[in-house]
Structure 1
Amino acid sequence: MNTISDTAKASSSDDTAGASKSAGGRHSLLLIESDQPCREQVQKALTKLGYTVTLVDNGVEAIGCFDPAGHDLVVTDLHLPDMGGLEVLRKVKAMCEETPVVVLASNSEVSDVVQALRLGASDYLLKPVADEDVITHAITRVTEAQDLARENRAYREQLEARNQELHEHIELLQRDHEAGRQLQQHLLPRSPYHYPAGIEAAYRLQPSLYLSGDFIDYGLFGERFVGFYLVDVSGHGVSSALVTALIKHSIMHLLRERPLFSQLNTIDKDLTDILEMINAELIGTSLDKHASMFVGVVDSRARQLHYAVAGQVPMPALVTSEGAHWLTGKGRPLGLFHRGGWEVRHCTLPSSWRLVTCSDGVLELLDGDLLQKEAQLLQMIDRSRGDLDSLCAALKVDTAESFPDDITILTLRQDLAAD
C-alpha cells in the first residue's frame, strides 16, 4: 500500500479549477486499481484535485484499510485480482452508505456497470480513460452531489431541530394559554346565580381562541341593587384577555375606594364614573386597544333598570309579555376618545322580564348585513323568550367547533307575581 500526498496546482482549465473548488475540504480518497497505467493516470488527476490518495491494488486490502471517517470517496476497478469490484462496492456501502463510490470498467463490463449503479455506485469511468478531464468531470459531479447531499442533510437536521424547538415552544404556549384560560374562567362569576327578589343572572362565554377578549361580571350591592356589565375588547387572544383582567381590576379598585350602587341618587354617576375610569385606563396604557361595554343596575325594589352603553353592538334587548325590543342608548367605545358622550338611561321593568346582552361576535353566526343580522337576532331572542339555553341552541353556540370571534351572551331575568 502506498500513500501519495500532493497539493493541487493552478490549472489553465476552468473545469479543473471548478473541480478543485468542489473538492474543497476533502483530503482523502481510496483508489483500488491493479492496472498500473490506469492507476497512475487516475492518481495524477485526483492529486490535482487536492486529494490525498490511498492506493491499493486488491479488494481484500482495500476493505481492510477503508476508513469511513477518513475516506471521502472510493474509486474502484470492477476487475480485481482477488475479488470482484461489485463485492468491494457492497462491502464499502455496508460499512458506510453515504460514501460515494466511482467504478472503473472496460467496455466489455457494461452489464457490471449497470449492476454497480443499482448497488449504489455514484458514477463510472470506462477504460481506457481518454484523458484527465474525463476523470475530473466525473469526480466533480460526484463531489458536487455529495456536497448537495451533505447540505441537504444539514438543512434537514437544522429543520428537524427547529421543528422540535417550535413544537416545544408551541406546547409551552399551549400550557401557558390553558393556565391563562383557567385563570380567566376563575375570574368569571358563577352561572346561573340567584339574587333576592327572584333575579337570576347567567351567561355563556365561548372564546375564539384559548383566551377571550369578552368578559362579564355581576354582583349584589346592598339589598336591592344588582349591578352587571359586559365588555368586549378589540382583537383576540392574550393581549385582549389581559385588558379584560385590567378592567375587572380597575372596577374592583374603584369599589375599594368608595361604595358603588349603594344609594339610588348616586347610581347614574357611578355608571358614568365606571365608563370614564375604564376609558382613561385604556387610553393611558397605550395598548392600542378599545372596548365596547354595556353596564347597568337593576333596582329590584323600584323595578327599574339604570344602564349606559359605550359602542355596544348589538344593543341589549328587553323581553316582556309584549315581546322583545332593543333598548335605546348611545355612547362612544372606550379607549378611543377622551370624551365618549355616555349617558345613563332608565327603563321601568314589569313583574316578569328578561334582559339579553350579546357581544358582537354573536352577529358573526348570522347571515346578511348588519341590519339583517340584528333583525334575525331579535327574532331569536323573542322566540326564546330570553331564555339563555334556548337562545344558545338556536344560535348553535354550544355545538359549534370554532368561532370567528369571541361569543358572549349575558342574561338577567326576574319573575314576580303580578300586582
Structure 2
Amino acid sequence: MAGRKSLLLIEEDQRSRDFVRGALSRLGFEVVVAQSGVEGVGRFAPGLFSLVITDLHLPDMGGLEVLRKIKHLSPDTAVVVLASDSEVSDVVQALRLGASDYLLKPLQDAAVIDHAVCRITNAETLELQNREYREELERRNRELRDHVELLQRDQQAGRLLQQHLLPRTPYQYPGGIEAAYRLNPSLYLSGDFVDYGLFGERFVAFYLVDVSGHGVSSALVTALIKHSIMHLLREKPLFAQLDTLDSDLLDILGMINSELLSTRLDKHASMFVGVIDGRARQLHYAVAGQVPMPALITASGADWLPGKGRPLGLFEQGNWQVMRASLPPSWRLVACSDGVLELLEGDLLQKEARLLQAIDHSRGDLDSLCTELHVDTSGALPDDVTILTLRQG
C-alpha cells in the first residue's frame, strides 16, 4: 500500500468519495479511503502517502484539525482540501495552514481533480530534482571549501594551481588559428579566467570570464566554472555540429548562471564565449555583461562587436543572444576584462574609445597591445587585467 503513488482520501460522503477515487485511480494512484477524521489521521504515517485529500466537513473532526495533525506529522506531505462554496473562509484558513490546493464540491468534472493532483505531483518531482541538485552543489561547495583551506595556507601554491588550469599560450590550431592571452592578477589569485580548445577539425571554442571581487573566493569560482564546463562537456557533445553551435553557447551561459545563483556565494560574472567555424569562416558568440565589448580587427580597422546580455549570477533569465560575424581570410579578435579600463584615463566612454584606438594601433598583436597599455609595467593593479586574442592570417 505504501509508495510514491499511494494516496489517502478522507471523505464521509460516498458519492463524492467514489467520484474522487475513480478519478485518482485513472491517474494511477492506489487510493486508501477513510470515512472520518479520526480514521484518516490513524491511517496516516509520514512517507506512507504521496498526497492526502480531505473534506473540510467531517462527522467527528474538523477538516482543518485533520490538516493540522497531518502537517504536524509530515510537513512536506501535500494536502488538498474539499470544500463547499459556503466554506470559503475555511478554505483560506486551510491554505494558510499549508494546504497545497482546494476543490469545490459538488465535484462533477474529473479534469479539475486531474489538474490539481498533476500540478502537485509535478511540483514534488521538481522539488526532488532540485533537492538532488542542491545536494550535488553542496558536494561541490565542500570541495571548494577544501580548496580555500589549501589556498589560505599557501597562496603561492594557489596561484600555481590556477596557472595550471589555464591553457598554453600562445597555441596554434589547425587552419592557422592562434589563441593567446595575458592574465595579470591584482593579487596572488585572479577572478579572471580564459580557456580555449579545438573540437573536431573545424571548431575552436573559447571564453573569457571575469568574476566579481578579487582573491581566493573569486579564483575558486573560476575553478568552479571550468569544472562545470568540463562536466557539461562530458555530459553532451558540445560544438560537434554546426546546427547546435548557438544552443551550445546558450547552454554554457545558462549552466554557469544556475551554478552562481545556486551556490549563493554572492558572486556574479561577466563572460564572452564564442566558437570559430574555421571552415565557414564565421564567428558565433554571446556576451553576458561584458564590458568592454570584444573587438574584431579586419583590413578596414577595429570595431566593437555588437551584442548584449545580462551578467551571470544575478538574474534567473539572462536574455543572452547568440550573434554571428563573418570572418575574412585575415582577422584579429581581442577581448579584455574590465580591469583593462582601469589602466586608461577618462570616463567610461573615453576609456573605451582609447582602448579601441590601442587595439586598432596594435592590429590585435598581444605583446604590442600589452606594451601600449602598460599592462606589464603598471605596478600594483587595482583590478585583474586579462586580454584574450585570437587571430588567423
Give the whole-Å Cα distance in 2 for the aligned partners of 1:173 and 1:409. 25
Q: How far 1:400 moved relative to its partner?
A: 2.2
Give the whole-Å Cα distance in 1 for the aligned partners of 2:372 and 2:285. 27
Q: TM-score, normalised by structure 1?
A: 0.58
1:246 counterpart = 2:224? yes
Larger radius of gyration: 1
Structure-to-structure mapping, 1:194-209, within 5 angstroms: 194-209=172-187
Partner-residue secondary structure (3-state), 1:338: coil
Please say if residues 191 and 218 of structure 2, whose CA atoms lie closer than 8 Å, have aligned partners that are also in contact: yes
CA displacement 1:121-168 (0-9 Å, x = unmatched):
xxxxxxxxxxxxxxxxxxxxxxxxxxxxxxxxxxxxxxxxxxxxxxxx
Give the whole-Å Cα distance in 2 for the aligned partners of 1:361 and 1:400. 12
> Could you say which residue in structure 1 is the equivalent of 2:238?
260
Give the whole-Å Cα distance in 2 for the aligned partners of 1:174 and 1:238. 8
> Could you say which residue in structure 2 is the equivalent of 1:399?
377
Which one of 216, 220, 229 corresponds to residue 198 of structure 2? 220
Give the whole-Å Cα distance in 2 for the aligned partners of 1:402 and 1:261. 39
Give the whole-Å Cα distance in 2 for the aligned partners of 1:194 and 1:257. 27
Which one of 316, 336, 341 corresponds to residue 358 of structure 1? 336
CA displacement 1:358-400 (0-9 Å, x = unmatched):
0000000000000000000000000000000000000111122
Give the whole-Å Cα distance in 2 for the aligned partners of 1:308 and 1:173. 32
Structure-to-structure mapping, 1:4-403, within 5 angstroms: 176-403=154-381
CA displacement 1:196-232 (0-9 Å, x = unmatched):
1100000000000000000000000000100000000
Give the whole-Å Cα distance in 1 for the aligned partners of 2:324 and 2:222. 26
Q: TM-score, normalised by structure 2?
A: 0.61
Give the whole-Å Cα distance in 1 for the aligned partners of 2:206 and 2:176. 16
The count of aligned residue pairs is: 244
Percent identity of equivalent pairs: 80
Letter in 2 for 1:244: T
Letter in 2 for 1:231: V
Give the whole-Å Cα distance in 1 for the aligned partners of 2:245 and 2:197. 14
Give the whole-Å Cα distance in 1 for the aligned partners of 2:152 and 2:178. 35
Give the whole-Å Cα distance in 1 for the aligned partners of 2:153 and 2:376. 24
Give the whole-Å Cα distance in 2 for the aligned partners of 1:357 and 1:286. 28
Partner-residue secondary structure (3-state), 1:279: helix
Give the whole-Å Cα distance in 2 for the aligned partners of 1:173 and 1:184. 11
Please say if residues 159 and 189 of structure 2, whose CA atoms lie closer than 8 Å, have aligned partners that are also in contact: yes
Partner-residue secondary structure (3-state), 2:196: strand
Partner-residue secondary structure (3-state), 2:221: helix
Summarize the Cα distance change of 1:173–1:284 in structure 2 as closer, same or farther, 3 Å threshold. closer
Give the whole-Å Cα distance in 2 for the aligned partners of 1:175 and 1:324. 45
Structure 1 residues without counterparts, runs of 5 or longer:
1-171
Structure 2 residues without counterparts, runs of 5 or longer:
1-149
Letter in 1 for 2:324: H
Letter in 2 for 1:308: A
CA displacement 1:93-115 (0-9 Å, x = unmatched):
xxxxxxxxxxxxxxxxxxxxxxx
Show structure 1 runs of 4+ deviating over 2 A.
172-175
